[in-house]
Structure 1
Amino acid sequence: MSDELGRNLLGIPETLLTPDEEVDARLAAGDEPVDVVARFPASSLAWSLLADEAYDDGRTVESYAYARVGYHRGLDALRHAGWRGQGPVPYSHEPNRGFLRSLYALQRAAAAIGEATEVDRIGKFLHDSDPTAAEQIAAGK
């Protein structure tokens, strides 16, 4: 593994989203993602969980739609946190995971429906945000 892998070579500060304690508490209490989304529609994490459920059930188009909403809600949160369209969004910071999981789910669903341009674009965005995120998400971390 290279010393440069995962290093921020541009010097752009990391974007760290604030914790969403209410969403985390509802999910920890066993609430279904669909109920969490209905109560907290800005939660990228809840949308990514819906995308995962749909994908696992073979509902690829629904997974794509859920992931796209999670992605856009995540962009809103990132911008609110000072993100300027580039720079690291580390997976190690747990509140960032909903956005990164939405990106992962969007790339996966885009691949399943044959949207190659979107697969490449989202894959690059995910890698640029955190080069280790896709591997960690795939491993269930």
Structure 2
Amino acid sequence: MTSFGDLLGPQPTLLPGDDDAESELLDKRDPAAVAADHPTASIAWAYLAEQAFADGATITAYAYARTGYHRGLDQLRRNGWKGFGPVPFGHEPNQGFLRCVATLARAAKEIGETDEYARCLDLLEDCDPRAAEQLGLDH
């Protein structure tokens, strides 16, 4: 059984994480420098996207979030994800990708891109039914 109770569904995808990028971010290194040194680390892009959104730089946040989203998709596929199935928020290395999706949703909503907003919410729901709530998004 998967972590979401689906006996026939795929097993959850658990990303390996990027210990160096995560450590540098926890040590308060500039997220832009971390993203430059570790461009495949979605967590660095999540930090950049969230800060840009908080600063009111919606288009910049959108761009950072989309970059982290695509980097996360690459990692998910390399780790067996087929475009669907659980990507649990509770597994910390998955959070960079999911945080990017959430910030992309926020930025899309802010600029009136309602289809993209809905797609992001659907993706979060498919990945982990609790992710949107844990990330502070309304359905």
TM-score for the superposition, normalised by structure 1: 0.91
CA offset at residue 98 of structure 1?
0.3
Identity of aligned residues (%): 50
Gaps of 5+ in 2: none
| Residue pair 1:8, 1:88 contacting (<8 A) in 2 also | no
> Does 2:44 match 1:46?
yes
2:11 maps to what in 1?
13
CA offset at residue 16 of structure 1?
0.4
Render the CA deviation track for 1:67-86: whole Å, top value 9, x for unaligned.
Answer: 00000000000001011111
> Does 2:122 match 1:124?
yes
Cα distance in 1 for partners of 2:7, 2:120 equals 21
- Aligned to 1:98, the other structure's residue is in SS state helix
Summarize the Cα distance change of 1:10–1:120 in structure 2 as closer, same or farther, 3 Å threshold: farther
CA offset at residue 8 of structure 1?
3.2
2:63 maps to what in 1?
65
Cα distance in 2 for partners of 1:96, 1:10 equals 22
2:72 maps to what in 1?
74
1:3 maps to what in 2?
none
Cα distance in 2 for partners of 1:50, 1:116 equals 23
- Aligned to 1:61, the other structure's residue is in SS state helix
Summarize the Cα distance change of 1:35–1:81 in structure 2 as closer, same or farther, 3 Å threshold: same
> Does 2:32 match 1:34?
yes
| Residue pair 1:43, 1:73 contacting (<8 A) in 2 also | yes
Aligned structure 1 segments of 4 or more residues deviating by more than 4 angstroms: none
- Aligned to 1:138, the other structure's residue is in SS state coil
| Residue pair 1:127, 1:134 contacting (<8 A) in 2 also | yes
- Aligned to 2:135, the other structure's residue is in SS state helix
Render the CA deviation track for 1:59-111: whole Å, top value 9, x for unaligned.
Answer: 00000000000000000000010111110000010000000000000000000
TM-score for the superposition, normalised by structure 2: 0.92
Summarize the Cα distance change of 1:20–1:136 in structure 2 as closer, same or farther, 3 Å threshold: same
Cα distance in 2 for partners of 1:117, 1:90 equals 24
Gaps of 5+ in 1: 1-5
